[in-house]
A and B are shown apart, each in its own frame.
Chain A
């Protein structure tokens, strides 16, 4: 026995949520051939099939690329601070990929470690995430190598699985998921078969051991020469979460805001003295792998990667975590032999 919903009913549900004034976002073909997670203004914009995954990540609905922290005004007497409006708008993220949803519990840790990030946490609480299991994967996908899979339930409030014929099996995983689909589901005999995932490409433990022992290895410059130092990988990664804090305004007033930042930029580690501890692209690429497979796991017990493959698909020169890590594994096993 399972609970199911038809595609038409799902779209109706989405249309209803939009009509209620909720912010609804999901995969949307923003232009021919380019599917991104984007706010939907009508349920017809929701794209459910015909692509591997959106080119951006879901994190921007929880941890936006630009967020105002507070405002300030310089008066004759001093500085006045103004709080930002507390967040109230509920949002529903629909047809998210499991690799995007799984990133959020991983991010929860860093945003609630020494400092509880209110903006992040309130967005998390106000958000319901409905994932759609992947029916297809491409050669950039590697969720199975980091302990996830095409139907991973982690981070989802409800999981949809394709049954064929425009029907989805719905697995409500949390209270939020249950209340979203309350009264909308049909009982059915059909049970979705689990979709097959990509082949396992590497052992995360081997990667971790390699980066720990090979910080100065010639592997890094040799494998990362092509990197041009843009932030396309980090900014479309569901788990990359570095940010920069800036003041923007004029001599009278302004805002303090946080913007995404990336360890691939030269300025990321530049000291005021002019010294840069990561002076070149190989050291920055190494940092990216090191952070994902050693530093984060050591600190929070989780790999900072969900295997979505966005880094590879968006890299203008065909790199990405998988390509670096897969070559690293072969050179690690090579040195062990």
Chain B
């Protein structure tokens, strides 16, 4: 998928673990893992809002668009 999730980068910048983020945004570890590994098909605005609040960042810091390489 051409949408890249940079959640792990932001978590590393804020020095926050997955468990800590999971508690702050009230998402299960498995759901956060789905998001982190790029397996998610959609993200709710409420989830995005909670993650941005917890990591003190903008949506663009977490999501990035990259042209898909056909090869």
User: Do these two chains really belong together in a complex?
Assistant: no
Footprint of A on B, CB under 8 Å?
none
Footprint of B on A, CB under 8 Å?
none
